[in-house]
């Protein structure tokens, strides 16, 4: 049983304590006025454990790469037979709920937190972030158009209806300081489902606007996001952009296809008759973008648990296509390299029965040993799409992440 303290001093989002920890995960859940930060590792586990009501037995954080569940629905394994998914129970959890900050301490690490308590309240310095001098496209525009043409032929033949094709940019970035870079990224983007993950020398800085799944005991919602417009400082133009997004036939068709896939995925582990579309193609306005989001809800069936839901719906419909299995096969052929963390998920399950998993997009992956940074972006291809516009969408998404790192 953890000791829970209410902290009477502000806690930095990226406190100095993190410098001494080889693993941590910060997750923002903006629509709940909530954020959590799992610090350190008490125990690595193969999977979270739950009671009959869907409550995690302890705080459990997870990092799920895109390849965790294959196109055939089977779970990928390492060479030693272990899962490629990563789950761990942290030493300490900082939880922001509105204006209140809680510290949940594992009983084995009470003494250590007493000795390091001040580090929670010490914010790391925020120097200017020096941008990488040059980003190299792993797939240039010519090759992109070649692969898009091949994928569009599959759409025209009816093999698939939608496919999410992604491209990668990389840079040698020895000056990148991931701790302060994430502070800048979060401050500038205000991304509702942002994440900051460290695993040794590898970091993920994600300004994610998209939720994958949220849990409340045996209730689950999925929120596929397809469709984006920028915000404008001019109120009339901003309203026009919002209305344009709501009416865009291509964006709506992409969203509806993702909804159909998620409904199917959830129906395999949901109680009969409980899968419902609460909202279809609703426009949500965030500080920098308008997003087209749908919400699907379900009650988890007796005999299944939250992790069964995650497995059934993974990888998320918005980052694969329809039908999912064939789309994933074509993605693997077109992209040629594993996605890894990108379009996977970072999240947690809590003892109060809640859990939240995001979609890892708008993300910089950084390896401090090699100073190599990677930034992947993509878009959905359908029969209605214009390939040149899809390429530009990939460029704009990449630019939005890098611009957020610039000094205000």
Tens digit of each residue's pLDDT (9 = 90 or more) over 312-323: 999 999 999 999
Q: Total structural domains in the chain?
A: 1
CA angle 407, 368, 16 (to 5 degrees): 65
For the question of residue 397 being annotated catalytic, the response is no
Catalytic choice (95, 177, 210, 254): 210
Residue 295 has pLDDT above 90, yes or no: yes
For the question of residue 210 being annotated catalytic, the response is yes
Catalytic choice (91, 162, 168, 226): 226
**Which residues constitute the domain of residue 146?**
3-404
Q: What is the pLDDT of residue 311?
A: 97
Residue 142 to residue 69: CA distance in whole angstroms: 31
Interacting residues of 80 by C-beta distance below 8 A, sequence separation 6+? none
CATH number at residue 290: 3.60.120.10
User: Span 264-285, mean pLDDT?
Assistant: 97
Q: What is the pLDDT of residue 407?
A: 54
User: Span 340-344, mean pLDDT?
Assistant: 98
Of 64, 113, 105, 110, whose CA–CA distance to 87 is shortest? 64
230 pLDDT band (50/70/90 cuts)?
A: confident
Q: What is the pLDDT of residue 79?
A: 80
Residue 208 to residue 174: CA distance in whole angstroms: 24
Residue 228 has pLDDT above 90, yes or no: no
Structure pTM? Answer: 0.95
211 pLDDT band (50/70/90 cuts)?
A: very high
User: Span 322-345, mean pLDDT?
Assistant: 97
User: Span 2-23, mean pLDDT?
Assistant: 92
Q: What is the mean pLDDT of the chain?
A: 94
**Is 222 in a helix, a strand, or coil?**
strand
């Amino acid at each position: 049983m953890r000791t829970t303290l209410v902290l009477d001093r502000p806690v930095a989002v990226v406190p100095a304590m993190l410098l001494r920890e080889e693993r941590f995960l910060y997750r923002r859940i903006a629509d709940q006025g909530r954020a959590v930060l799992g610090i350190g590792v008490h125990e690595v586990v193969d999977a979270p454990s739950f009671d009959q009501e869907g409550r995690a037995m302890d705080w459990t954080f997870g990092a799920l790469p895109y390849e965790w569940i294959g196109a055939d629905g089977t779970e990928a394994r390492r060479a030693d037979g272990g899962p490629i998914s990563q789950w761990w129970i942290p030493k300490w959890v900082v939880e922001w709920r509105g204006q209140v900050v809680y510290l949940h301490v594992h009983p084995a690490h009470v003494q250590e937190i007493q000795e390091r308590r001040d580090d929670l309240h010490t914010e790391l310095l925020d120097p200017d972030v020096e941008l990488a001098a040059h980003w190299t496209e792993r797939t240039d525009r010519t090759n992109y158009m070649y692969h898009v043409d091949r994928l569009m032929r599959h759409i025209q033949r009816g093999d698939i209806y939608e496919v999410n094709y992604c491209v990668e940019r990389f840079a040698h970035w020895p000056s990148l300081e991931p701790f302060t870079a994430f502070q800048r990224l979060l401050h500038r983007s205000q991304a509702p489902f942002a994440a900051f993950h460290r695993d040794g020398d590898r970091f993920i800085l994600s300004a994610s606007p998209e939720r994958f799944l949220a849990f409340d005991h045996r209730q689950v919602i999925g929120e596929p996001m397809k469709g984006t417009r920028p915000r404008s400082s001019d109120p009339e133009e901003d309203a026009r952009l919002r209305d344009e997004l709501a009416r865009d036939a291509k964006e709506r068709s992409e969203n509806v296809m993702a909804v159909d896939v998620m409904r199917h995925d959830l129906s395999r582990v949901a109680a009969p008759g409980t899968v419902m579309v609460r909202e279809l193609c609703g426009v949500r306005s965030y500080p920098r973008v308008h997003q087209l989001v749908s919400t699907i809800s379900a009650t988890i069936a007796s005999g299944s648990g939250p992790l069964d839901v995650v497995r059934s719906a993974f990888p998320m419909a918005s980052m694969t296509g329809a039908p999912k299995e064939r789309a994933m096969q074509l993605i693997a052929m077109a992209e040629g390299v594993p996605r890894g963390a990108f379009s996977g998920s970072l999240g947690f399950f809590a003892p109060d029965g809640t859990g939240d998993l995001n979609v890892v997009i708008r993300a910089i992956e950084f390896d401090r040993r090699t100073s190599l940074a990677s930034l992947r972006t993509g878009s959905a291809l359908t029969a209605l799409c214009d390939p040149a516009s899809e390429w530009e969408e990939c460029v704009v998404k990449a630019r939005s992440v890098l611009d957020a790192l610039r000094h205000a």
